[in-house]
Amino acid sequence: MIIPCPHCGKPLVVNGLGRKRLNIPLKNVCESLQAHRNVVTAANELCCSPAYIFGVLKVNGLKLKDVISATKDNTLLNNGGFSNGQ
């Protein structure tokens, strides 16, 4: 990536900025939540923050209670959808 130098304005080549994404698949997040039934414990297992788990669920249109309650019903599919059309 090429960015301008903040001091002289010349272009500088840098190898990425900031922290790399975790990219934990939704399937892994859901399985961990279903196994532990607790966001903090699931986050510790996945080596991420509880906020990251909530973010993954939000992006995929899921809510915590839906994923955890799906443990009882087995209605949550591997792709993050519901078999009953929800």
Q: What is the pLDDT of residue 85?
A: 45
Contact present, 33 and 53 (Cβ < 8 Å): yes
The helix or strand, by DSSP H or E, that contains position 71, with its residue range, turns out to be: helix 64-73
The one-digit pLDDT tens for each residue of the chain (86 residues) are 788 888 898 988 887 767 888 999 999 999 999 999 999 999 999 999 999 999 999 999 999 998 988 766 555 555 555 544 44
Give the predicted TM-score (pTM) of the model. 0.65
DSSP code of residue 21: P
**Residue 40, burial from CB neighbour count under 10 angstroms (0-12, 13-18, 19+):** exposed
Q: Which residues pair with 13 in a beta bridge?
A: 2
